[in-house]
Amino acid sequence: MSATLYQRIQKFYDASSLLWEDIWGEHMHHGYYGADGTEQKDRRQAQIDLIEEVLLWSGVGQADNILDVGCGIGGSSLYLADKFNASVTGITLSPVQVKRARERAFESGLAAKTNFLVANAQAMPFADNSFDLVWSLESGEHMPDKRQFMQECYRVLKPGGTLIVVTWCHRPTDDVPLMADEQKHLQDIYRVYCLPYVISLPEYEAIAIQLGLHNIRTADWSKAVAAFWDMVIDSAVTPKAIFGLLAAGWQTIVGAFSLGLMQKGYERGLIRFGLLCGKK
């Protein structure tokens, strides 16, 4: 990962994470609104439901040693540690997120079960075959080398363990290549949210096959999560959020005013919410 991209991602999350927690809570990912996206529910419950639905879909009923790649402030890590009574390690590029995740672990009585580190997901500081579940919920889109990211996840996964990657994708391009206006739309999203690029779900599946994963499954849950961005936009126009944005700085303000890029991306079928799981 280039130093420039590393620093941009770190600064983005250093600046925005505590504001996000204040407005939305500990989970920094999409919510699940039913298979067709029409269920009405509390926004934080929708985020918890996404975790549960992913676990159900992937068939993971128990895990003892879990790696959360792109852990944010520990939302999924702490949830999984509590649910499975598991040991969970979370990694992120943001020192601010690590500090807050450790605080939240202590507050939740889960400090002994969890460990949070500043680490690069493309060069993880773990031995081969270390974890029986590698969980990546909306971090793959930040990786500048998708194959290297997947390779690292595979390397640290124990034989028989499960890899779950849930990530932003663009639409499949086997039949129709991306058009010029779609490419511009994606470039605007990349610039705002510090993404190098995204790929399609079939491309992730091809990488998984090349790595040697077995029992590979994929799914497109775009309809189930698209309503999330309507909720985020509504929450961004409250006085509390506006004052928080002003305090958080320019990059966070730009991100907030660009929420419609993601909303429109889902509406036109360009942005896809992809899931992949497989066994080592």
248, 19 contact by CB (below 8 A): yes
Whole-number pLDDT of residue 229: 84
Whole-number pLDDT of residue 236: 56
Q: What is the pTM of this model?
A: 0.93
Q: Which two tokens stand for residue 76?
A: 């999924």
Residue with tokens 């992937």: 58
User: How far apart are alpha carbons 55 and 75 in whole angstroms?
Assistant: 15
Whole-number pLDDT of residue 128: 98
Whole-number pLDDT of residue 243: 46
User: How far apart are alpha carbons 174 and 80 in whole angstroms?
Assistant: 36
Kindly state the helix (H) or strand (E) to which residue 277 belongs, with its residue range: strand 271-279
Tell me the mean pLDDT per 10 residues along the chain, length 280. Answer: 81 80 85 96 93 98 97 97 98 96 98 98 98 98 97 98 98 96 96 94 98 98 94 63 48 60 94 98
Whole-number pLDDT of residue 247: 54
Q: Residues 6 or more apart from 103 whose CB is under 8 A from it?
A: none
User: How far apart are alpha carbons 236 and 241 in whole angstroms?
Assistant: 5
Superfamily for the 3-279 domain: Vaccinia Virus protein VP39 (3.40.50.150)
Whole-number pLDDT of residue 174: 93
Kindly state the helix (H) or strand (E) to which residue 60 belongs, with its residue range: none
User: How far apart are alpha carbons 164 and 179 in whole angstroms?
Assistant: 30
- Give the type of residue at 160: G
